[in-house]
């Protein structure tokens, strides 16, 4: 009788251990979902200005070449994605689409050495060009005169002058200003505002300039294509971002 009782206790103990493992797994999953929900709420705050149509996208993979700052996202031709399309995360400009397949797209990140963005200082409106330095968190502000009113901590936002990136999106924050008394230009470094090494969710912006330049991608056509494939698009007037 005592042996049977002991066996019952052993079986019950094993059963409880199994339940504990299952519940622990559920708690971990809930923590992951809660963190993802927080990231989506932050992304909502980056909803495009001026009623620019957009869709959400998720990171699939980063390029493993240390000299190339690119990533693959899970949206493509099926959703109307096009080359040159701006990509932002919850904190700022992340890059632009450089190639598109049916279901995925490749994005050139702002930190890539071949990527440049026209910007302006949010504090005073001075305009410059920001270029990636090839690292994961470095940018350079090009051709800044020694006497220019630029300071550490200045926020650099898109100027809208290139007709590709809409105006007013955070790009970088100035981290270092070194003035060269013997030369015409200062050495100015900045860090990207986008959390490129952390973000998994992004917004693809369908800018008005793209609609004008590409007649087949007018706003009605894009919205119709998105509905046809079951992708929910949004504008600034909506209350939430709908991730698929």
pLDDT in tens, 128-144: 999 999 887 889 999 99
3-state secondary structure of 48: coil
Is residue 4 predicted with pLDDT exceeding 90?
no
pLDDT per residue as tens digits for the range 215-237: 444 445 445 544 544 444 454 43
Distance of CA 7 to the CA centre of its chain: 56
Determine the 3-state secondary structure of 51 from DSSP.
coil
Is the full-model pTM beyond 0.75?
A: no
Distance CA 85, CA 128 (A): 21
Q: Is residue 22 part of a domain?
A: no
Residue 126 inside a domain? The answer is yes
Write down the pLDDT at residue 229.
41
Range of the domain at 169: 116-192
Distance linking the first and last C-alpha atoms of the chain: 58
Q: What does the pLDDT read at residue 238?
A: 37
For residue 134, being part of any structural domain is answered with yes
In a domain? residue 13: no
- Stretch 100-127: mean pLDDT: 95
* CATH number of the domain encompassing residue 134: 2.40.10.350
Is residue 8 in some structural domain?
A: no
DSSP bridge partners of 62? 71
Among 16-30, 77-91, 183-197, 219-233, name the one with the lowest average pLDDT. 219-233
Let me know if residue 148 belongs to a domain. Answer: yes
- 198 falls within a domain: no
Q: Copy the structure tokens of residue 82.
A: 């096009």
Report whether 154 contacts 173 (CB < 8 A): yes
| Number of domains making up the chain | 1
Domain presence at residue 156: yes
Contact (CB, 8 A) for 158 and 93? yes
Share of the chain above pLDDT 90, in %: 48
More confident residue, 222 or 8: 8
Q: Is the pLDDT reported for residue 66 higher than 60?
A: yes
Res 242 pLDDT > 50: no
pLDDT number for residue 24: 66
31 confidence band (pLDDT: 50, 70, 90): low
């Amino acid at each position: 009788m005592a042996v049977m009782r002991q066996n019952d206790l052993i079986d019950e103990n094993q059963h409880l251990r199994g339940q504990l493992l299952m519940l622990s797994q559920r708690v971990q999953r809930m923590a992951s979902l809660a963190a993802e929900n927080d990231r989506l709420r932050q992304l909502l705050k980056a909803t495009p200005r001026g009623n620019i149509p957009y869709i959400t996208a998720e990171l699939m993979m980063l390029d493993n070449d240390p000299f190339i700052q690119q990533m693959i996202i899970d949206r493509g031709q099926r959703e109307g994605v096009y080359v040159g399309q701006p990509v932002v995360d919850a904190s700022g400009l992340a890059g632009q689409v450089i190639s598109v397949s049916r279901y995925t797209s490749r994005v050139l990140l702002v930190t890539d050495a071949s990527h440049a963005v026209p910007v302006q200082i949010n504090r005073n409106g001075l305009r410059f060009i920001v270029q990636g330095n090839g690292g994961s968190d470095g940018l350079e502000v090009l051709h800044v005169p020694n006497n220019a009113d630029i300071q550490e901590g200045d926020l650099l936002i898109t100027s809208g002058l290139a007709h590709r990136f809409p105006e007013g999106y955070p790009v970088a924050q100035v981290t270092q200003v070194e003035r060269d008394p013997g030369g015409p230009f200062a050495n100015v470094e900045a860090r990207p505002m986008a959390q490129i090494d952390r973000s998994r969710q992004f917004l693809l912006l369908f800018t008005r300039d793209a609609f004008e330049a590409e007649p087949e991608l007018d706003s009605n056509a894009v919205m119709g294509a998105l509905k046809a494939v079951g992708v929910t698009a949004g504008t600034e007037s909506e209350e939430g971002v709908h991730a698929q």
